[in-house]
């Protein structure tokens, strides 16, 4: 799956945010009546000096709303920026979520109704060939099986099933208007006897029978973004036969501490001396604008990985529950293998497809820097300040993926790390924490 642009407007509003100093002036002018009280729906760890940390249930006083995304608020006498989507006015609870669809389905399925994303996904050979390979290498076992292709898009996986194996039936389910074309493609390729295209949300469709295999390409940036996986889990519980097969069967998220010299130079060091002038007062703004959110579509060079990557989460697609998605935690421990500048962490995912054939090999789709690049590329999480690390130092910590309580396709990734110097100098131990909204 390709990330559609849930984030477009948000990207702009961060840049448009007023600086804290402007806000201060406005705050002094305002009377208390304009201050509104909000309740925190979920905990948030602020990064940098101008973001406020708070816990679920805290009551914050919102002084100004300089952008739709970041508000200026006060908690126990401390003031700072807070992410608006974490807050709710108590009395509005009922009405608020109905104002806008927390799943943003119109925008989401709207973008899959056009060719742009499908072209990008189908042009991604590693991705598409991985699915083709799974079907081809399991063709004998797929004979006479019933398959659901959840979120079939143009129907590519269903067509592979029909052409490379002999399933008795493939239900190709697609909620976007692409489904109308998918029907034509199925016919055009002579597969209408086997493939039935059903237009609708997987959660709402009815099938005449249970299925033996549930195949889906649901993965988003940083594996979970967009949370299409929820639809897959619900369909599994409803339609998969006892003992049926999930493709992918498991998924892992991998993280590595890395250098990002050119990105840092382009977005931050740039302000040091443009045209011989000192523009460093813009650096806090640059940090807010470019490093608050993760950078999608990053390609980390293997040489920029400071340690051996480590799997921080592993999801079993048979046992994973929808409620588990609310908060997922992982740990990491790295030994720095070469001295360098620690700019941030890069994340990517790998999925595995178990074999149905006795003794058959598992198929893997790996979106990391040591495999062919895919359209997902990788996700870069920049620290606020680069840190020098040396061979033998250790970097350990945790990652927390917290699903947005309101905007169900979004999540916040919080990284905690501590660096221990190999020489044991205690003054070189550094700890840090940073939360990255993705996208709200
Ligand atoms: N299987 C295709 C498309 C993958 S992209 C391929 O591999 O090329 C994911 C697709 O799933 C999109 O077309 C999207 O519209 C669809 N989708 C996402 N959630 C869905 C749901 N709940 N019900 C039906 N379709 C869904």
For the stretch 415-424, pLDDT in tens is 999 999 988 7
Find out whether the beta carbon of 109 lies less than 6 Å from any atom of ligand 1: yes
What integer pLDDT is reported at residue 42 of this predicted model? Answer: 79
Is the pLDDT at 98 greater than 60, yes or no? Answer: no
Q: Which atom of ligand 1 is nearest to the CA of 131?
A: 7
Cβ atoms within 10 Å of 180's Cβ, excluding its own = 12
DSSP 161-226: HHHHS--SEEEEEE-STHHHHHHHHHHHTT-TTTEEEEES-TTT---SS-EEEEEE---BTTBTTT
Find out whether the beta carbon of 185 lies less than 6 Å from any atom of ligand 1: no
What integer pLDDT is reported at residue 2 of this predicted model? Answer: 64
Find out whether the beta carbon of 112 lies less than 6 Å from any atom of ligand 1: yes
Residue having the nearest C-alpha atom to atom 3 of ligand 1: 153
d(CA 385, CA 383): 5
Q: How far is the CA of 112 from the centre of ligand 1 (A)?
A: 8
Cβ atoms within 10 Å of 242's Cβ, excluding its own = 5
Q: Tokens for 69, please give them.
A: 């995304």
Q: How far is the CA of 6 from the centre of ligand 1 (A)?
A: 15
Q: Residues with catalytic annotation?
A: 217, 226
Find out whether the beta carbon of 328 lies less than 6 Å from any atom of ligand 1: no
- Please indicate whether residue 182 or residue 88 has the higher confidence score (pLDDT): 182
Q: How far is the CA of 63 from the centre of ligand 1 (A)?
A: 41
Pick from 87-101, 227-241, 294-308: least confident: 87-101
Find out whether the beta carbon of 151 lies less than 6 Å from any atom of ligand 1: yes
State which fold the 105-217 domain adopts: Rossmann fold (3.40.50)
Paired with 219 in beta bridges are: none
Indicate left, alpha or beta for 7 from its phi (over 0: left) and psi (-120 to 50: alpha). alpha
Measured between its terminal Cα atoms, the distance across the chain in Å is: 20
**Model confidence at 47, in pLDDT bands (50, 70, 90)?**
confident
Find out whether the beta carbon of 153 lies less than 6 Å from any atom of ligand 1: yes
Mean pLDDT of the 161-172 span:
98
Q: Which atom of ligand 1 is nearest to the CA of 228?
A: 19
Is the pLDDT at 144 greater than 90, yes or no? Answer: yes
What letters, b where the CB count within 10 A reaches 16 and e where it falls short, cover 294-332?
Answer: bbbebebeeebbbbebbebbebebeebeeeebeebebeb
- Please indicate whether residue 82 or residue 429 has the higher confidence score (pLDDT): 82
Collapsing DSSP states into helix, strand and coil, what is residue 38?
strand
What integer pLDDT is reported at residue 48 of this predicted model? Answer: 75
Find out whether the beta carbon of 159 lies less than 6 Å from any atom of ligand 1: no
Residue from 105, 174, 408 to probe ligand 1 pocket by mutation (most atoms less than 8 Å from CB): 174
Domain 35-97 of CATH type 3.40.50.720: no
Is the pLDDT at 112 greater than 80, yes or no? Answer: yes
Q: Which atom of ligand 1 is nearest to the CA of 201?
A: 23
Is the pLDDT at 28 greater than 90, yes or no? Answer: no
Find out whether the beta carbon of 174 lies less than 6 Å from any atom of ligand 1: yes
Helix (H) or strand (E) segment spanning residue 69: none
Find out whether the beta carbon of 3 lies less than 6 Å from any atom of ligand 1: no
Is the pLDDT at 33 greater than 80, yes or no? Answer: no
Residue having the nearest C-alpha atom to atom 17 of ligand 1: 151
Find out whether the beta carbon of 4 lies less than 6 Å from any atom of ligand 1: no
Pick from 49-63, 88-102, 169-183, 379-393: least confident: 88-102
Supply the DSSP symbol for 134.
Answer: H
Is the pLDDT at 49 greater than 90, yes or no? Answer: no
Q: How far is the CA of 140 from the centre of ligand 1 (A)?
A: 26
Q: Which atom of ligand 1 is nearest to the CA of 118?
A: 8
d(CA 114, CA 130): 24
Collapsing DSSP states into helix, strand and coil, what is residue 1?
coil
Return the domain boundaries, the chain: 35-97, 105-217, 251-438
Q: What is the CATH number of domain 251-438?
A: 2.70.160.11
**Model confidence at 268, in pLDDT bands (50, 70, 90)?**
very high
Mean pLDDT of the 100-113 span:
94
Q: How far is the CA of 174 from the centre of ligand 1 (A)?
A: 6
How many residues are present in the chain?
A: 440
Q: How far, in Å, are 81, 126, 362 from residue 377 at the CA level?
A: 31, 11, 22
CA 163 and chain centroid, separation: 33
Residue from 110, 175, 207, 375 to probe ligand 1 pocket by mutation (most atoms less than 8 Å from CB): 175
Collapsing DSSP states into helix, strand and coil, what is residue 280?
helix
**Residues 324-378 pLDDT 10s:** 999 999 999 999 999 999 999 999 999 999 999 999 999 999 999 999 999 999 9
**Residues 301-338 pLDDT 10s:** 999 999 999 999 999 999 999 999 999 999 999 999 99
Q: Which atom of ligand 1 is nearest to the CA of 121?
A: 8
**Model confidence at 68, in pLDDT bands (50, 70, 90)?**
confident
Cβ atoms within 10 Å of 278's Cβ, excluding its own = 10
What integer pLDDT is reported at residue 429 of this predicted model? Answer: 64
């Amino acid at each position: 799956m390709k990330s559609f642009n849930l984030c477009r407007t948000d990207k702009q509003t961060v840049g448009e945010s007023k600086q804290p100093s402007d806000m201060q002036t406005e705050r002094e002018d305002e009377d208390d009546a304009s201050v509104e009280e909000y309740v925190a729906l979920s905990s948030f760890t602020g990064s940098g000096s101008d973001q406020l940390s708070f816990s679920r249930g805290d009551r914050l006083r919102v002084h100004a709303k300089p952008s739709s995304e970041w508000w200026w608020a006060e908690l126990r006498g401390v003031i700072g920026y807070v992410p608006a989507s974490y807050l709710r006015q108590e009395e509005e609870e009922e009405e608020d979520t109905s104002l806008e669809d927390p799943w943003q389905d119109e925008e989401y399925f709207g973008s899959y109704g056009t060719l742009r994303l499908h072209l990008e996904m189908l042009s991604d050979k590693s991705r598409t060939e991985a699915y083709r390979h799974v079907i081809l290498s399991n063709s004998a076992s797929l004979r006479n099986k019933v398959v659901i292709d959840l979120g079939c898009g143009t129907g590519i996986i269903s067509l592979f099933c029909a052409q490379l194996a002999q399933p008795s039936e493939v239900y190709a389910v697609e909620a976007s208007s692409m489904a109308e074309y998918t029907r034509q493609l199925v016919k055009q390729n002579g597969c209408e006897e086997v493939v039935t295209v059903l237009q609708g949300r997987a959660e709402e469709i009815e099938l005449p029978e249970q299925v033996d295999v549930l195949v889906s390409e649901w993965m988003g940036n940083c594996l979970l973004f967009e949370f299409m996986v929820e639809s897959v889990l619900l369909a599994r519980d409803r339609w998969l036969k006892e003992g049926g097969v999930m493709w992918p069967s498991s998924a892992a998220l991998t993280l590595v501490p890395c250098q990002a010299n050119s990105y840092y130079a382009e977005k931050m060091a740039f302000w040091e001396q443009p045209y011989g002038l000192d523009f460093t007062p813009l650096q806090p703004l640059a940090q807010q604008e470019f490093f608050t959110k993760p950078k999608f579509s990053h390609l980390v060079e293997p040489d920029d990985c400071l340690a051996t990557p480590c799997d921080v989460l592993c999801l079993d697609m048979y046992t994973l529950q929808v409620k588990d998605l609310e908060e997922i935690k992982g740990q990491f421990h790295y030994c720095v293998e070469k001295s360098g500048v620690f700019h941030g962490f890069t994340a990517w995912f790998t999925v595995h497809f178990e074999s149905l054939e006795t003794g058959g090999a598992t198929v893997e789709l790996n979106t990391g820097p040591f495999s062919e690049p895919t359209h997902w590329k990788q996700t870069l999480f920049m620290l606020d300040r680069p840190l020098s690390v040396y061979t033998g130092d250790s970097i350990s910590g945790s990652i927390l993926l917290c699903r947005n309580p309101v905007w169900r396709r979004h999540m916040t990734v919080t990284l905690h790390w501590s660096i221990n110097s190999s020489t044991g100098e205690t003054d070189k131990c550094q700890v840090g924490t940073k939360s990255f909204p993705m996208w709200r």
